[in-house]
Amino acid sequence: MKLITRDTDYAARALIFMASTKGETVTVSTLVSKLRIPRPFLRQILQALNKDGILKSYKGSGGGFRLALPPEKIFLTDLMKIFQGALKLNECIFKKKVCPNKNLCPLRSKISSIEENVISQLNSITIASLLRIR
């Protein structure tokens, strides 16, 4: 299981770079060059972020992308939801059906506690906080 997928990683890297430009419009070519992310993947990621209101796109000469939200309002969990869906460490699935021991399972409560802790930690990570680490 991967906690962070490639698309989420690429999205975070692109947003951190954009946040560092302090509101400038950034072209796809610049992002590809600076971040070394393959253009086809990056274009899809930027389009998804634009669709979900995290980026604004500008067409024509001088066009590109810009953050639609302040970096402190963009959470890693937002990106994870867009590219990965809701984080679930414990799905309680057995042979493609809900496990019949779901309500009695001692492991489920332990895994659920870990999941809550992980989600809480991830909810504290913003693009602004990652920019400060950089």
pTM: 0.85
Q: What is the Cα–Cα distance from 118 to 115, expressed in whole angstroms? A: 5
DSSP letters along 117-134, please? HHHHHHTT-BHHHHHHH-
Residue with tokens 């954009």: 18
CATH (one of 3.90.1280.10, 3.20.20.450, 1.10.10.10, 1.10.268.10) for 6-86+126-133: 1.10.10.10
The answer, yes or no, to whether residue 89 has pLDDT greater than 90, is no
Indicate the domain borders of the chain: 6-86+126-133
Q: What percentage of residues in the chain have a pLDDT greater than 70?
A: 92
Q: Average pLDDT for residues 69-82, to the nearest whole number?
A: 96
Residues 3-60: pLDDT tens digits?
A: 899 999 999 999 999 999 988 999 999 999 999 999 999 999 999 999 999 999 999 8
The pLDDT, as a whole number, for residue 30 is 96
Q: Show the beta-strand stretches assigned E in the chain.
A: 55-58, 64-67, 93-94, 97-98
